[in-house]
Amino acid sequence: MEPRERMALSPRNGRGRFRLRLAYKLHEITRGGRDMANQKERYEDSRLYRIRHSAAHVMAQAVLELFPEAKYTIGPPIENGFYYDFDLPRPLTPEDLEKIEKRMREIIAGKHDFVKKVVSADEARRIFKDQPYKLELIDGLEQGGYDEYGNPLDEKPEISIYQHDTFVDLCRGPHVSNTAEINPDAIKLMKVAGAYWRGDEKRPMLQRIYGTAWENTQQLEEYLHRLEEAKRRDHRRLGKELDLFSTSEEVGAGLILWHPKGGLVRHLAEEFCKQEHLANGYDFVYTPHIGRSHLWETSGHLKWYQENMYAPMTIDEDKYYIKPMNCPFHIMIYKSKIRSYRDLPMRLAEWGTVYRYERSGVLHGLLRVRGFTQDDAHLFCRPDQMPEEIDRVLNFCLHILRGFGMTEFHAYLSTRDPEKSAGDEERWEQATEALRAALERAGLPYDVDEGGAAFYGPKIDLKMIDALDREWQLSTIQFDFNLPERFDLTYVGEDGQPHRPYMIHRALLGSMERFMGVLIEHYAGAFPVWLAPVQAVLIPIADRHLDYAHKVAEQLRTEGLRVEVDERSERMNSKIRDAEMQKIPYMLIVGDREAEAGKVALRLRSGENPGPMPIAEFIARAKRDIEARV
């Protein structure tokens, strides 16, 4: 699976979500639709699902033949393929994978029927008497509590086994009827990875083999091509090629260095957002990067979030922590004086840089880092203002994302988990309904993550779908019923009495680092003109055109365009090639004819060639494109 798919699929609340997402993604690919209804059934009923499930069994047979002492566990179909987890005597090598794949083709060619048989738990135990993982699964099935992924089951399932050739597996199916239905030229083993038994890091680490399977070779080729395409657009590769950012072993893992070009794109993105914030009733604040331990005790971070916080430093015998969040500081601004109901709503915004400890293995380019800047804001309002405030912030969020050309969203509404929730139930109810109503009014399709909210409040998460049909969470709008209590936030109402305000935490782009990563991939590095670090490059054909090129460049700069002159003593063709690879929107070729006529010959990075035009005409065109944010 590609990294972003992994991120997108990464479940918040256990395996059920994961499997639902798989079905969802497949549905998108085959139908192009985004309706979430009944998709689980659709994938599980599909021919591809049966092919992949059956390929997993065939693979398990091949692995068991290679390692007779192997213990096998589970092997479900997933998006784009399947996997199977094994407990093996030694690590698998790439050569093993080749051998296994070759043997799979032989087994398929044997045209074996898949035969289902329903058995009792005791029969199953006899069949799998040497397979401890299977025995554990059988126990789970017999008790009727959980399926093989650990999901609770409504009713006690029947226990069935499937056999083909020499291989028997505990399995509820479905499968194809004969191995001949698996196209041997449309399967491929992709990689080996470690995976904990039942996803529990305290349990044994198994070896997972990932494979892909399709109905025909063309589909397989298309899938492999999609993976190549994804690699080409990978923000880590483009970050290097376009000189946008880097990391350094010397500085430390998960800490980003923004280079001039990446820094400029980020600056432009931030400027746009800040202008919009000012135009939408936000006030900007600035707060420190560290705070005394007492603050974090009050906020509860030391109790609940400490494992993500860095060790404190001592200043004048006091402990100070680097901030993992901005909220306590904004709250202190709120608390700096007595607030009247007339002061509300207050919208305190800050591009706040936070540092969080992330386990080394999860760091990933710009998308998972240890230091990042949130476009953070905290909204404080009265109960009567709350519904409108939610409406406003959601629409503002959509406005901002659309400003970056991101037009497809998927929203998730996470609701209260009665087992763990702070604050009174009535407020939860009101808040959840306000969120729901705002989603409805905005006309956004959304999924409800029942019980998926954090203990302190319900929330909306907005995920963005990029050009490669992958989903990313950027925006979050969260109620917080915990911090106002902890910090005893109040405002004086019309009645002269203190009241508790609603507090809403929101980040629209999420973090600048992650957003930039998504943005780079969304445009495959070809930023719209308004964001492009270099908007136009002047390409003189011969050295004698340098003066004219510089003159034009100056003229364009006075119009506010970001322009460079390629002065190198290279062929024009070479300069064009380099400009295209740098994904510069406008190439302006100037030779004798242009210098003579006061024109520039425009070429676009798409290869399109509008040709010679007066300078004023080009300026008008560029300004039009910038205005339109294309």
Which of positions 307-336 make contact with RNA (CB under 7 A)?
308, 324
Determine phi and psi for 611, rounding to 5 degrees. 85, -170
Establish whether 376 is a catalytic residue: yes
Measured in residues, the chain has a length of 630
Q: How far is the CB of 448 from RNA (least distance, A)?
A: 17
- Tell which one of 402, 577, 614, 616 touches RNA (CB under 7 A): 577
Please identify which residue in the block is written with the tokens 């003066």. 547
By CB atoms closer than 10 A (0-12, 13-18, 19+), residue 156 is exposed
Stretch that binds RNA, among 203-211, 393-401, 436-444, 505-513 (CB under 7 A): 203-211
- CA-to-CA distance for 221 and 223, rounded, in angstroms? 5
Whether residue 290 contacts residue 323, with contact meaning beta carbons closer than 8 Å, is answered with yes
Q: 61 or 247, CB closer to RNA?
A: 247
Concatenate the DSSP letters of all residues of 497-558 into one string.
SEEPPEEEEEEEEEEHHHHHHHHHHHTTT---TTT-SS-EEEEESSGGGHHHHHHHHHHHHH
Establish whether 410 is a catalytic residue: no
Determine phi and psi for 250, rounding to 5 degrees. -65, -40
- CA-to-CA distance for 170 and 625, rounded, in angstroms? 60
The footprint of RNA on residues 481-500 (CB under 7 A) is 482
Beta-bridge partner residues of 454: 457
Q: Which residues contact 340 (CB under 8 A, 6 or more apart)?
A: 491, 492
| Site for RNA contains 288 (CB under 7 A) | no
Q: 206 or 344, CB closer to RNA?
A: 206
- Tell which one of 3, 157, 263, 345 touches RNA (CB under 7 A): 3
| Site for RNA contains 573 (CB under 7 A) | yes
Establish whether 175 is a catalytic residue: no
| Site for RNA contains 146 (CB under 7 A) | no
- Tell which one of 361, 418, 443, 496 touches RNA (CB under 7 A): 361
Stretch that binds RNA, among 54-62, 105-113, 441-449, 591-599 (CB under 7 A): 591-599
* Maximum alpha-carbon separation in the chain: 93
Q: 176 or 460, CB closer to RNA?
A: 460
Establish whether 545 is a catalytic residue: no
Query: 615: which 2 tokens?
Result: 């300078």
The bridge status of strand 586-590 relative to strand 536-540 is parallel
In the DSSP assignment, the letter for residue 199 is: G
| Site for RNA contains 300 (CB under 7 A) | yes
- Tell which one of 118, 121, 253, 313 touches RNA (CB under 7 A): 253
Establish whether 397 is a catalytic residue: no
| Site for RNA contains 612 (CB under 7 A) | yes
Q: 244 or 273, CB closer to RNA?
A: 244
Q: Which residues contact 558 (CB under 8 A, 6 or more apart)?
A: none
Give, to the nearest 10 degrees, the angle between helix 260-279 and helix 512-522.
Answer: 110
- Tell which one of 22, 182, 386, 454 touches RNA (CB under 7 A): 454
Q: How far is the CB of 424 from RNA (least distance, A)?
A: 16
Query: 435: which 2 tokens?
Result: 């969120």
| Site for RNA contains 558 (CB under 7 A) | no
Q: 164 or 470, CB closer to RNA?
A: 470
The bridge status of strand 245-246 relative to strand 257-258 is antiparallel
Establish whether 156 is a catalytic residue: no
| Site for RNA contains 304 (CB under 7 A) | yes
Whether residue 157 contacts residue 124, with contact meaning beta carbons closer than 8 Å, is answered with no
Q: How far is the CB of 63 from RNA (least distance, A)?
A: 15
- Tell which one of 142, 215, 485, 580 touches RNA (CB under 7 A): 580
- Taking residues 390 to 429 in sequence order and writing x for each that binds RNA by CB under 7 A, - otherwise, the string is ----------------------------------------
The footprint of RNA on residues 25-44 (CB under 7 A) is none
Q: 335 or 568, CB closer to RNA?
A: 568
Establish whether 259 is a catalytic residue: no
Concatenate the DSSP letters of all residues of 56-109 into one string.
HHHHHHHHHHH-TT-EE----EETTEEEEEEE-SS---HHHHHHHHHHHHHHHH
Stretch that binds RNA, among 47-55, 132-140, 268-276, 566-574 (CB under 7 A): 566-574
Three-state SS at 1: coil
Cα dihedral across residues 241, 245, 249, 253: positive or negative:
negative
- Tell which one of 144, 199, 260, 614 touches RNA (CB under 7 A): 199
Q: 313 or 362, CB closer to RNA?
A: 362
- Tell which one of 601, 613, 622, 626 touches RNA (CB under 7 A): 601
| Site for RNA contains 572 (CB under 7 A) | yes
Give the residue numbers annotated as catalytic, written as ranges: 327, 356, 374, 376, 378, 459, 505
